[in-house]
């Protein structure tokens, strides 16, 4: 069965600190896709990244970076030099590629304190 | 280009009533998926439609139904509303209807059942 676990319910850090959001997933498929979404208070889910199961290269986009490790079934997300605008709920998610069904974790609420 | 649009943005209904939520996908996208997000949880998959055919269904009661029109827009219907149906309902569209392409989310419809 597919499952996404985000063990950190809520994190608070002071602005400019680095912060890592953890994500562990479960799937029996060899082909799957992993995602991170950001949900600001307005409610809309903002796509951040998609990674397929055959590409374990880490990715960096500005202050954001993602570490995908199949050996530990983890797909962690790091924000470097955090800013107040990064405050939001972040969701890690999994899709097995047969359809658009996306399995979301419960989310991590991130507070960046000025 | 317009993103995924949902209407209405907010809605208040009484227990036992029915509700219809609407979604217009991004132009060119043939797949529409619906998700329910209750407070403090990640979105839960309800339905996916691709080319007007149901491609996937989540674990929701038969009170929930949906359809997709020839222009790829979609409606989600919920009958006999319960207090527990209060949630943010999110619509997502994608081109291929499979996880290999990005799913873009609308701003959601916030339904309150009283």
Average pLDDT, chain A: 93
Query: How far away is chain B from the Cα of A86, in angstroms, using its nearest Cα?
Result: 18
**Across B86-107, average pLDDT:** 88
Top-confidence residue, A97 or A77: A77
Partner-chain residue, chosen from B44, B104, B107, that has the shortest CB–CB distance to A47 = B104
**Across B72-90, average pLDDT:** 97
Q: What gap in Å lies between CA A78 and CA A66, rounded to an integer?
A: 6
Q: What gap in Å lies between CA B30 and CA B71, rounded to an integer?
A: 9
pLDDT over 90 at A80, yes or no: yes
pLDDT given at position A1: 79
**8 Å CB contact of A45 and B110:** no
pLDDT over 90 at B1, yes or no: no
Chain A CB contacts of B56 below 8 Å: 99-101
Stretch among A44-48, A97-101, B30-34, B74-78 having the lowest mean pLDDT: A97-101
Token pair for residue B54? 């149901």
Peptide bond between residue B108 and the one before it cis (omega within 30 degrees of 0)? no
pLDDT given at position A24: 98
Q: What gap in Å lies between CA B76 and CA B69, rounded to an integer?
A: 12
Q: Are A48 and A59 in contact (CB under 8 A)?
A: no
Q: What gap in Å lies between CA A71 and CA B44, rounded to an integer?
A: 27
pLDDT over 70 at A37, yes or no: yes
What are the two backbone dihedrals, phi and then psi, of residue B60, each rounded to the nearest 5 degrees?
Answer: -125, 150
Query: How far away is chain A from the Cα of B6, in angstroms, using its nearest Cα?
Result: 11
Q: Are B105 and B3 in contact (CB under 8 A)?
A: no
Closest-CA residue to A100 (of B8, B36, B91) = B91
Instruction: Let me know if A85 is exposed, middle or buried by CB neighbors in 10 A (0-12, 13-18, 19+).
Output: exposed
- With pLDDT > 70 as the criterion, what percentage of chain B qualifies? 97
> What residues contact residue B50 under an 8 Å CB cut-off, 6+ apart?
A99, A100, B30, B31, B32, B68, B97
pLDDT over 90 at A12, yes or no: yes
pLDDT band for A106, please (50, 70, 90 cuts). Answer: very high
Query: How far away is chain A from the Cα of B81, in angstroms, using its nearest Cα?
Result: 22
**8 Å CB contact of B45 and A37:** no
SS3 label, residue B72: coil
pLDDT given at position A73: 96
Token pair for residue A68? 């995908």
CB count within 10 Å of CB B80 equals 12
Question: Any chain A CB within 8 A of the CB of B95?
Answer: no
Question: Which regions of B1-114 does DSSP assign to beta strands (E)?
Answer: 5-7, 10-13, 19-24, 31-37, 44-50, 53-57, 64-68, 74-78, 87-94, 104-105, 109-113
Question: Any chain A CB within 8 A of the CB of B87?
Answer: no
Question: Any chain B CB within 8 A of the CB of A3?
Answer: no
What is the tens place of the pLDDT at every residue in B34-62? 999 999 999 999 999 999 999 889 999 99
**8 Å CB contact of B105 and A47:** yes
Partner-chain residue, chosen from A32, A42, A102, that has the shortest CB–CB distance to B103 = A102
Q: Are A104 and A6 in contact (CB under 8 A)?
A: no
């Amino acid at each position: 069965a597919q499952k996404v676990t985000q063990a950190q319910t809520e994190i608070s850090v002071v602005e400019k600190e680095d912060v890592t959001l953890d994500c562990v997933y479960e799937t029996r498929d060899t082909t799957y896709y992993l995602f991170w979404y950001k949900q600001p208070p307005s409610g809309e889910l903002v796509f951040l990244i998609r990674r397929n199961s055959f590409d374990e290269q880490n990715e960096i986009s500005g202050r954001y970076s993602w570490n995908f490790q199949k050996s530990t079934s983890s797909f962690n997300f790091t924000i470097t030099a955090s800013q107040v605008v990064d405050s939001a709920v972040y969701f890690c998610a999994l899709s097995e590629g047969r359809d658009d069904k996306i399995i979301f974790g419960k989310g991590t609420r991130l507070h960046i304190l000025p | 280009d317009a993103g995924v649009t949902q209407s209405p943005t907010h809605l208040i209904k009484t227990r036992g009533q029915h509700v219809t939520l609407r979604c217009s996908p991004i132009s060119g996208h043939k797949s529409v998926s619906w998700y329910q997000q209750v407070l403090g949880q990640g979105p839960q998959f309800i339905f996916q439609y691709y080319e007007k055919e149901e491609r996937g269904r989540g674990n929701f009661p038969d009170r929930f139904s949906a359809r997709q029109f020839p222009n790829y827009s979609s409606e989600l219907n919920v009958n006999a509303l319960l207090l527990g149906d209060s949630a943010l309902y999110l619509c997502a569209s994608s081109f291929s209807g499979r996880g290999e392409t990005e799913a873009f989310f609308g701003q959601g419809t916030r339904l309150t059942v009283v």
